[in-house]
Amino acid sequence: MARPTTISTGKKPRAATKAPAKTPVKVPAKAARKRKSDEDEGPPPPKKARITKQPAAARPKIIINHAPTQRLDVFVFGEGSSSELGLGTAKNAIDVKRPRLNPLLSSKDVGVVQIAAGGMHVAALTHDNKILTWGVNDNGALGRDTEWEGGLKDMDDNDSDDSDNSDSGLNPKEANPIQVPASNFPEDTVFTKLSAGDSHTLALTDEGLVYGWGCFRKTDGIFGFLPGEDAPTEQKSPVLLPNLKNITDISSGANHAMAIDDKGLVFAWGCGEQNQLGYHIVQRTSTNKKNTLNPSPLRTRLKTYKAIYTGNDHSFAIDTKDRVWGWGVNSFGGTGIADGAGDDNAAVYTPQIVKTLSLQNDSIIHIDGGQHHSIAVTANGKALVWGRVDGQQVGLDMSTVPESSTIQDDKGIGRIVIKPTALPNIGNAIWTSAGTDHTIVINDRGHAFSWGLSATYQTGQGTTIDIKYPTHIDNTAVRGKMLAWSGCGGQYSIMAAPAAVETMVNGFHHE
């Protein structure tokens, strides 16, 4: 504490009375000055009481997002050789031809409430705020350590390699749904949504912050995850992303991502070599080639949007006037924009209004995109498809599609559906998801329909033959279930239904 300021009385000192001579005593100059001041000015003023500074009050937590609460039954099918199905290491977890209830994601014991399907990995959020991951972890997409000495196990005489329950040799730390350690996040962090790309995962919190891990890739290899030349190319554990606050939604493409905040501002980041970030990038002129890893506002005059969606290498946003904007790869018209569609290197460099989706009487409520095709659901329950045709991606009988809605080759054969066209015979659509070359739609009766590439059973139809038109997915596992969500990876699929609520009647459990 600072010494109190000396206060002067304003009077001259009284003349001193002559005292008998004494032997002089040497006093240090500093002490002498102090003593003289004491004699001249009287006792010092009382010391001020010490005031203890109270610590600043903690900023109250402002919640802008809420996590789902409905527990889900989770059904998986397709190729599981890279642990994408999360069924553990049993041999019968490799090729699952039709939907199978995943017992490791029990609605009662685990309670998954939200799922994100990446290219070859999956992330799930549980009712008690855990993030579970499984699948390929080559580039850190699982956000946790999966090192495994593996490969060797004791075989007894009764264990046969031909048994469905015999071990497949998969890494159990990748094949089983396992929690991303909570120690990676602040103690009071609450998650509300996950998204996943080919090699990255994002997690949104109730306060609007975004954590992420993994990496983004370019055509020639790993690009990175965080901006800065010194940043690691692969982020093995969760990290808080810069420049993202008050975020209300996230979406992941194959190697890019988007977020939207509570004011409607859209951010994009990741690899931009396919123009999926909404602006043309010339990497050779950049002083820092990792600049695109820094989340940056979408470069449009319009600054207010209400929804964001991604395809593999293209993107969409819906503005407050219900207009749909698209950009990115367009070689097969996946953006829904006709300009340049059909050219090998066609791209929509900056966001443009997709006029055929900006409908007057039927607004778009959901969009998803695959590699070169896209699908949207309208408020009136239509499922509109467009894009590449040659792999059954759009699920349409092309003989019924008007020529004016297609782009044809030099032989007059329709190769692209450029005008979004409604799928027939599926009822009122409420949800859709697109994989690389296959698609699933769910209607308001809880029925799922699939079509497209089926080489690894990813359509759930029990065959490797491509499915030409939307076909009902029906087996004992999902029959009678009210399916409400689906997610499509590169070679697998996931569906989910609200779990049945058990009640007690006369001491017995009933669904």
All domains of the chain, ordered by start, with CATH? 72-354+476-510 (2.130.10.30)
CB 420 within 8 A of CB 376: yes
Tens digit of pLDDT per residue, the chain (511 long)?
444 443 333 434 434 444 444 444 444 444 444 444 444 455 666 655 566 666 666 678 899 999 999 999 999 999 999 999 999 999 899 999 999 999 999 999 999 999 999 999 999 999 999 999 999 999 999 999 999 987 644 444 444 455 566 787 899 999 999 999 999 999 999 999 999 999 999 999 999 999 999 999 999 999 999 998 888 899 999 999 989 999 999 999 999 999 999 999 999 999 999 899 998 775 544 445 678 999 999 988 888 999 999 999 999 999 999 999 999 999 999 999 998 898 988 999 999 999 999 876 899 999 999 999 999 999 999 999 999 999 999 999 999 999 999 999 888 889 999 999 999 999 999 999 999 999 999 999 999 999 999 999 999 999 999 999 999 999 999 999 999 999 999 999 999 999 985 543 444 444 4
Output the pLDDT for position 42.
Answer: 55
Separation between Cα atoms, residue 58 and residue 307, nearest integer Å: 33
441 beta partners = 432, 449
Q: What is the DSSP string of 119-154?
A: SSEEEEEETTS-EEEEE--TTSTTSS------S---
- Which residue's structure tokens are 């209607």? 443
Output the pLDDT for position 301.
Answer: 81
CB 175 within 8 A of CB 121: no
Residue 326: CB atoms within 10 A of its CB come to 25
Output the pLDDT for position 54.
Answer: 63
pTM of this prediction? 0.85
Separation between Cα atoms, residue 444 and residue 432, nearest integer Å: 12
CB 151 within 8 A of CB 245: no
CA 162, chain centre distance (Å): 39
Structure tokens at 353: 């209004």
Output the pLDDT for position 196.
Answer: 98
- Which residue's structure tokens are 């998803």? 368
Output the pLDDT for position 53.
Answer: 62
Output the pLDDT for position 505.
Answer: 42
